[in-house]
Structure 1
Amino acid sequence: MKRLLFIIFLSVGIGHIAASDFTQLIQQYGDNGDFSRMDSVYSLASKQINYTNEPVSALDMNVTYATYLNSQRKYDEAYLVLKRAREEAIRLKKEKKYTADTQKQIQLSEGIATYETAYGLWASNKLYEANKFTDEAIDLFIQIKDTARLAESYNLSGVIHKNLFMLDKAILMYKKALKITEYQKDYTLSAIIISNIAALYNELEETQKAIIFSRRIFSYPQADTLAFNDQINKISYLCNHAILLTNGEYYQNALDSLQLATSLLQENMPAGLKLYIYTNYAKALYDTGDSRSAINYYQKAISYKKQTSNEYNKANLDYLYGYMLFQATDSLQEAYDYLTEALAFYRKNPSIMLTKSLLAMAEVEAKRNHAQNSYQLALEAYKTEQKIQHKSFHDRLAGFEAELETKEKDLEIISLNAEQAKNKAAYQTRTYISTSIFILIVLLSAIIIISLQKRKVALKLKQSELEKELKNKETQSKLLIGDLNKKMTDQYLKGLEDSNDYISKELHNDVCNELLAAEVQLRQTNASQLAAQLKQIRENVRNLSHQLSTPNFSNISLYQMFNLYIEKLNTLNSLAIHPYISDDIQNLSIPSDSILEIYRILQEIISNIIKHANAHNMYLTVSYAQNEIDILVEDDGKGFDTSSAPNILTSGLGLKTIKERSNKLQGECKIESTIGKGTIIHMRFPA
């Protein structure tokens, strides 16, 4: 009834309402969330104001209305309104009968309509179409110098490229948006953009860059007394920064950030925020070895679990707490219960955490003497990890292909523009000649020659510029191909390890059995039969050795080799790898033969740790200083007594091989080990 009275009232007064008043009413009801009245106003206004009688006002009103449709997630309805608005804006610009201010208003409406179209397509997961409209919106806002909306467009472009797995392009767009927001001193939006950039760097496993960008938030000026929402934001930023510090193994710094975040918590703050902070605080404490304090903070987080609506954060809490109970306490049943809850959620919402929770449950079931369940869980974890890696590789490859396709389209556009410029120049030349002949051939002949010469020079300059731009585009394409080659090299290294596994199995299943038979034969038969059998074993070993191949590192750098090998090692379930590769290594250019020797040394060390050390963690540190590559490998395994073996580097075949390869690189290798405290291998090589 109230809505009917409102419509009647509005119908009576419609003749007295100006076009701008309709737009203001739409904004007023849209901002208040009274969308029913907003629709009624728009319906009535459309009967009075349209593109025929008041085109500029109708354009502004329709764009405003479509913006609120998008906010209601009515993307299809908004798209139709915005499509008509953009068509009308283009038509109005061509008429050129409006003042400069009106023309700017038309361009602004066109820009907003284009941006809202892109936003609706992105929300509908039509990413490639959304990307096209976002680029158009950026061009329009650049033309009218609307920096605020330009920043929003760059930010949306970053989100779209992230969803397209074009992560480098996403970071570039975010940085452009950040430059504008920082210049405008909009530090709230700047902080959000920085968080997005840091998250992308973290996803690219560039932890140091992620930490540097995240720290930038805390350099922004802050009021002495923060508003409630600002305090919540600050706490969230501190917690997110602490997570990045933990990933970079800066545990004490992470604890300092979390302690500050905890001190800012207030009683009336959301329970989900408290759960999130206490969970990460407990994890950081456990990473530093303080299990007792970690349990206390996990229990604080659990006290807010029922009040929290974020199921993902609750599942993470269940997983972390359950796994810690399994590792650090005797509460096996309690650990099993928490991990079961986490696993149930991750199975419904697959992510990398599904693999971790499956492996954790496999360990728990093994300890509960449920071997079959443990095996099934481990097998499921393996298959899940394979799917995740395949999807990740496929998504990144799709991103590279999309970027390469974009570059190819750019090259096509440049080629078409060059052809059009050439045709236009030829057409203008013919026009000049025809006109000149018609007016006066004799008097204008000299002018025609000069004009043609100028045109020729201009065309040459234009052609040179286009050729230069084409070369730049080709260079960019080669860089993309280089990135794809890196991925292919990664697959090659994995194939190499698969081959070594195959040969290992053959040696175990074939040669070792033959040797056992030879031993039995030695006891039971004469020496000639033993000689024949040993000859056969030698032939088998020789054939297997021919199957070994040497990795080819001619297409990758030392820095890439380390990262590829670390990625492969991270798939191991028996050993946790903690790497730190200095950025200075990226700038080194050393022969592929030297890279191969370093790879073989590292491969032998890792093999010894896995087979003999019984270690849980391995720490790899690679740095460069004073023209030397410094490699430090540490493990927390059982160690050995170096005092009883003064020539430890030559006493074992594997360690002897490490020494020989180090000498070949003109380097040195030192080993320090204590029983029960692990082993440290320190190597230096001239670069």
Structure 2
Amino acid sequence: MLRYKSILVALFLQLAVVAATAQRSINKDSITAFRMFDIAEAFFTNGQYDSAHYYCDRMEAFSKLRNYPRGQAYALIKKTDIYIDQDILLKAAALPAITTNFGHQLKDSLIVAIAGKQTAQIAMYSQRHDEAIATFEKHIKSYFRHHPSKYAALAYSDLAYSLGENGDLPSSAANLLESIKVYETLDLDNYGDRAIALNNLSSIYYELKQKDKAIEYAKKSLFFREKAGDIAKLSLGCCNISQMYLGVDSAEASRYLDLCVKYAEQSKDESRIIHAYVTSAQIANGRQDRSTAVQFELKAISLLEKSKKMPRMLTRRYISVGMSYAKSGTDSLIALQYFSRALDRSREMNDKYNLRDVYNELAAFYRHHNDFEKAFGYFVKHISYRDSIINSNTTSNIAELEKKYETSKKDNEITTLNADQRINQLQIEKQKALLAANFLEAQRKEDEIQLLSKAQELQDLKIKQQEEALSKQLLEAKNNEQRLQLAEQDRLFQQKQLKNSTLIRNLILVGAGLLLLLAYFLFNRYQLKRKIYEHESLLAVRNNIAKDLHDDIGASLSNINILNELAKRNLVHDQARAASYIATAGEDIQRISESLSDIVWNVNPRYDDLNNLFIRMKRYAADMLDGRGIQYQFEFPDDGVVLTLPMEKRRNFYLLFKEAVNNMARYSKARNARISISIVANQISMLVQDDGQGFDTSVASTGNGIVNMHQRAQQSGAQLKIESNKHSGTRVELVMEG
């Protein structure tokens, strides 16, 4: 009996030693694996995706070799994050299911919740927002709500984004507040993240027309920017608050504009200072204070001339100053001097975009001064450069698309080969598991085989879609080339007509006399009557619309009159209330002014032709992007377009374009932008794309008028698609039927 007890004690001690050895091995494996995880995270944060993938693969292989499933799970989590950030959603979609299996195997609810969050993110970035919302809410309810972490904060933030995309702004704001709460709970010194979240919440309230709350949260964001010591971002925040105060409190708007410039100068960041000056000039132009606008433009020009680092932006500033002097009418000679500087620099750099725009401004300048010969000459040059840019951009786009297609095809072949090898390996491991009677492991291998097979099928489908897109692009290029030829023929015909008109004018001035002059006016009268007859029904509709709008403006004016009367009555006894009435009246006046401008343009029959709409769009975009120092590329249809849009659709198309360009200029911090308009059959398409910072996924969907954009698109029966990734730019696509 004593011997039996001795054997039991010895066996127990041996098992204890084995268990302790195994525990030390697991701890060592954990340290090694998560050291690789940290390295991958560092590369991922810096945007070095290949290196990040390399260390994730090493971590996964090491963990598998050491039979450390937790390491395998977190390697897959990080790989999924990288694929999502790269917008490679097909590969990302194949991994969360495997991660979930590891989570269930380890009985680790955090791993399961993270995999669920990633599944929801993939649905969100695939524009399947209903599916994303359901998945986010499921895992927030089951885990994240009770276990605050950085993953929980991201889940709340991304849920807010999807809710905003579906138009639920209040719920979006509520989830953003939960995200902020988690950040504050986890790390009270995390000032940068808190500032970003507060700024995004400010944008939501600004979109909801709650300017008081928008300003309140924007100021809180400034507080944390200041604690973080981020002077450059302080400058940007002050610029934003200044714009919020426009039409509300001019004194505060001016104060924050001064702070914007002050912080920019303190940062000693030359590009930030130039940006502050240009922003100040734009705000001054918005107030019609051209003198102040010119002063800030000249400061920006002085810095740009000294640095010699941004010659194209310097050229844009020359054009902007020339436009300010030309519009003010105070000094035409100075306007010409700045246009000449812009022209000389553009020629030195062979900058087709700036040459196109300066020729357009010179044509407008001489047309305003009734020098039609010079105006025509510059306009012909403007058209020549415009068509050249369109043609070269089309060729470049096709070449780029072909390159991307071939690269994607090669990547698919590599992926397919790797997948086949992986499937073979899994088949062997499955057979080994079956031989060892490990049926659970065999089933897991079978699941992995099925997932890899599905991913391979999806990749093949993507390649097929790219082939179709390339064929479509080639057809569009051929159509564009034909349109360019037609436009050139039309331009030559118009040039010939203009020369004939000039000859007739000279003949009239020399010796035609009153008889020819009378015949000229009679001919114009005949043409006018014919046009009136042809468009009688259309004009009747426009008159009805104009009457309705007039009634609306009349009602607004009556409201302004009432507000002014109320202000007078309260001026002595309640000055605060009187100031409120006056501010409200000022907002109404500003709204009426903007409405009248758009009404006059939209109702005027002169602008039925889409070419006039395109000219207005290009001028608006050029003014906005030039002010931000954003290099841009325009791709517009030729003059020979035959598509006609109804007045309401044309108005919504233009307002959607304005909103997209305005958001890009104000929020993207982009260096380059691309604006493309194309017409195929009875369908017009618009693309507005930039390489800026993209949306913050927490609230960007509701902070920049995106809900209104979707509503306008829905009213017009159009299809609107907005894609954005942080640090990867934004892409807005619109397709509208004629």
Q: TM-score of the superposition, structure 2-length normalised?
A: 0.40
Higher-Rg member (1/2) = 1
Structure with the higher fraction of residues in helix conformation = 2
- Between 1 and 2, higher relative CO (CA 8 Å, sep ≥ 6) is seen in 2
